[in-house]
Amino acid sequence: MKGLKCCENCNSKWSWKQTIKKTTTFDPAMICPYCEGKQYQTQKSKNKSALLTSIVVFLILLISNLFDMSLAGALVLLPVSIAIILFIYPYLVELIRTEEYINFFKDKR
Ligand SMILES: [Zn+2]
């Protein structure tokens, strides 16, 4: 699928499902399903996903305002927005071989 990212080690393309699986864990290191090399998300793509989340939250607030929805109505939109975020998210993910920013601490070992 177009837009999905490749592993920096082996150049294999991660599928949408694989990317979701790797990015929804709390472990910042993502193991490539093809070469088992560690991949990390770039800071830039993390910023993009934060931006995506804010846009979706803003849209929900806007829609609930426009249609004069109650808080309960806005809460109904929540699973929808999570679905939208999850759908777009893998396209924003950019992989890098080394973890950015955190390297500083690792070098100290
Ligand atoms: Zn790989």
CA-closest candidate to residue 96, choices 39, 12, 24, 15 = 39
Nearest-angstrom CA–CA distance, 2 and 16: 10
**Interval between CA 91 and ligand 1 midpoint (Å):** 17
The pocket of ion ligand 1, defined by CB under 5 A, consists of 7, 9-10, 12, 32, 34-35
Give the DSSP H or E segment for 31: strand 30-31
The alpha carbon of 108 and the centre of ligand 1 are apart by a number of angstroms equal to 27
pLDDT digits (tens, 9 = 90+) for 54-102: 999 898 888 888 888 777 877 888 888 889 999 999 999 999 988 765 5
Report how far ligand 1's centroid is from the alpha carbon of 6 (Å). Answer: 8
pLDDT tens profile 1-26: 456 888 989 999 999 999 999 988 88
